[in-house]
Structure 1
């Protein structure tokens, strides 16, 4: 293992070792900070399925110095501009040279790539943050491990511990909790080579939306979102329930379902957060889902976490005053991320409507508007430029 020659003087604790937490740790290290990531899970390696990344996230990854790693574990997907009906007709069709391909990858592959960008001693597993006490000079983080309780002091704390963030609860005890959005999402990944090639597409049904992205290794990630009035509804066989709902939709949807091991299908109720008044308090900053968890309908959750990490690292570069830097981070990130969060909450009110008139109008207008209108709609999300990072260190790679 190689080590950096940089002498770190300022310290940060990042709560959460997911994509956002690792991106924040990478950015802060590049800005000259000593970083420790506390992850509550005993296994550092991610599970999950696939997702896609828009150009704004790719630019953020480049600014963090991990753009090549993101591209290396990704393949292009046309799902952002290929929209179909359950019968297979096209509402919109991807055209090379006109439309923008997104980058799709498996969550575990990207997580491993980011983890490899940090030294082993930087990330501590099975360490669950339980509380934070702040002073003018820093913050004391209490955490729990299988061996007992512990504490660590740092100049700042970054809460990247997800929608159920312990950091958010500790620092903003009066903030509302996750809000169920009456949506259920199933996710799956086909076995390698079983259904191939797939360029990526979305299929809009009444009260249901299916999407598919190619993944490296000739795999295909797929998802199905449906209206669901109550959370925690369980089915004896999730894959059988999915087939019951969309088994007669156009090819290759039935084949993708057949090529997915039933035990691997993931099922999640969709929650988001009401907007917070601020993402920072004294020496603590929230990031990603801990700050602005959103529905997946704009495919921007992880993208916004990458943006957060880039802006936070840029604001904390150099010898800037920490409270001032965090105030600037909040000013720069909260309006944009909450605008995306609001749009992501509004989207399924139309796109998952079960009303036949609403569905008919939505599909007709989409077909009439075409790709040019869709591109203009995406532009405010995708045309984001990251700040430059004043780097002070060379990333440390695991070998």
Structure 2
């Protein structure tokens, strides 16, 4: 009985999680990453208990939990600083069975990377899915160094996935969600602050402390697609957010102008018909790119990876067609992720309102709902997401 071979296209969070999960099951795994390093493009990422439980499957959940920094209260505020909803970290931990953890993407990549031998990784290797495979033939991935045959190919190549275009060439692909995001990582100010997301008119600001003493902050605003500020993105952020409550002005002042990341937010508004074809599966943004308004993009990619490994685990040593296993993966993942994509889009519409009347109504409703009992709005709206548990063999 020969060892089954998997090729993972994309060395981001989802791709690395899938590679570790398959490697632990005994697969021969090759990760193909087009970039020259695994240093991720991005700043921070929030991991909820659903992702921690998925990482437990590959022995890495506690490494993330150890990076938790949220203690005390946090919640949603207005630009003046008024609290609309306050949630305690203890209540969130008790409700979901674990903490909400914010960490730098580079830290998460390093944690995942620790679960793989160096021989699995091929960097600076731009690849193309030449054949998705079928029951009677392997999948084929073309690389600059020759073709690779595989019993399983995992397309984890992001929102502009080339693998997705091969599998579903008539799908319209990602669309602009109507707003743009900025991200920064800066030293923490001297005065401590509670983690918060602040909802203003047509825009949002969030500030979260990292374990290493820095702050990850993000902002969004309703702007035309494809724009750039003539005097730099830090200046653009100052124009939009410098008069918002503390610590936002201090965080903006500390930002390196060259370190401000800006990108238009896009989503796969139209679900794919499946997350697989032949011997090839999609995961993460390649399968279900969503707006960041629930902070679930990376979490769902991690879930995808461990569920995919669960379903193909029986094929790890005999090279048989994984078609049934991949169909089961689609059945598990497509309904859940489609629902989360839609919930994230609804939340994006809610926290990017521009009408003064609708803003007043929204804030009153959010504050009012938040006063009805300890299981507040934030925890209730997140329950069906963070309560998820991975399948068992």
Q: Distance in 1 between matches of 2:190 and 2:197?
A: 16
Against the structure 1 CA distance between its residues 88 and 186, is the aligned structure 2 distance closer, same or farther, given a 3 Å change threshold?
same
CA positional deviation for 1:75: 2.4
- Secondary structure of the residue aligned to 2:293 is helix
Q: Distance in 1 between matches of 2:287 and 2:86?
A: 35
Q: Distance in 2 between matches of 1:248 and 1:288?
A: 36
C-alpha contact 2:71 2:90 (8 A) present in aligned 1 = no
Q: Distance in 1 between matches of 2:301 and 2:73?
A: 20
Against the structure 1 CA distance between its residues 177 and 232, is the aligned structure 2 distance closer, same or farther, given a 3 Å change threshold?
farther
Equivalences for residues 133-172 of structure 1 within 5 A: 133=131, 134-135=133-134, 136-144=136-144, 149-172=145-168
Q: Which residue of 1 aligns with 2:388?
A: 384
Q: Which residue of 2 aligns with 1:366?
A: 366
CA distances 1:215-265 after superposition (whole Å, capped 9, x unpaired): 122100000111013334444211111111110111111011111111101
CA positional deviation for 1:62: 0.8
Q: Distance in 2 between matches of 1:12 and 1:247?
A: 49
Q: Distance in 2 between matches of 1:232 and 1:8?
A: 53
Q: Distance in 1 between matches of 2:363 and 2:349?
A: 14
Moved over 6 A (4+): none
Q: Which residue of 2 aligns with 1:126?
A: 124
CA positional deviation for 1:48: 1.9
C-alpha contact 2:197 2:204 (8 A) present in aligned 1 = yes
In the superposition, the TM-score normalised over structure 2's length comes to: 0.91
Structure 1: runs of 5+ lacking an equivalent: 1-6, 390-399
Q: Distance in 1 between matches of 2:227 and 2:243?
A: 26
Against the structure 1 CA distance between its residues 26 and 383, is the aligned structure 2 distance closer, same or farther, given a 3 Å change threshold?
same
CA positional deviation for 1:375: 1.8
Structure 2: runs of 5+ lacking an equivalent: 94-98
Which moves more between the two structures, 205-214 or 43-52? Answer: 43-52
Q: Which residue of 2 aligns with 1:52?
A: 46
CA positional deviation for 1:195: 4.5
CA positional deviation for 1:181: 0.8
Q: Which residue of 2 aligns with 1:89?
A: 82
* 1:109 corresponds to 2:107: yes
CA distances 1:275-304 after superposition (whole Å, capped 9, x unpaired): 101110010000000000110001000010
- Secondary structure of the residue aligned to 1:327 is helix
Q: Which residue of 1 aligns with 2:300?
A: 304
Against the structure 1 CA distance between its residues 382 and 8, is the aligned structure 2 distance closer, same or farther, given a 3 Å change threshold?
farther
In the superposition, the TM-score normalised over structure 1's length comes to: 0.90
